[in-house]
Amino acid sequence: MKLTCSMLYAIDFPRMKEFYAKMLGTNPVNTMWSDSWAFFDTGFALHAVQDEHSRHGGTSSPLQSRDKCPIKLIFTVENAEAERTRLEAMGITMLTRLWQQSAESCDGVDPEGNVFQIVKANNWPAVSGTGPVRRDSA
């Protein structure tokens, strides 16, 4: 069995779709159901929460991260520090974690409070526990 796609349900679907399109630097590739489904060629998707369900799980204002949420998306990037700077310039909330090295990984928060992580691609084996810890100077 192989995981084909990770999907988040979105309360404010248009806002989340725009957020992830900007963050990922790509638009959804699906042409069907685009008002409620966004599939990105990165293996990530969003699905609109149906109206009767959205009344029970709105987002708080101001934004609070959902650190206790059982889902965390992890994206690999070539340069974690440069990516953090790019995301912060877009107004994305980035978190400082004492256990993270800024050159290797960092967490961010999407518009609905979901925490995601960006990890330097060549450090992913160490972060995932499948390879040795790698500490690069760059």
Q: How many CA atoms lie within 13 A of 37 on its CB side?
A: 8
Of the candidate CATH numbers 3.40.50.300, 2.30.40.10, 1.10.10.10, 3.10.180.10, the domain formed by 63-130 belongs to 3.10.180.10
CA torsion through residues 40, 41, 44, 45, sign: positive
Please say whether the beta carbons of 126 and 118 come within 8 A.
Answer: no
pTM value is 0.77
Q: In terms of DSSP bridges, do strands 73-77 and 93-95 run parallel, antiparallel, or are they unpaired?
A: unpaired
Where are the domains positioned within the chain?
1-49, 63-130
Q: Write the pLDDT tens digit of every residue in 20-63.
A: 999 999 999 998 898 999 999 998 999 998 765 444 445 445 45
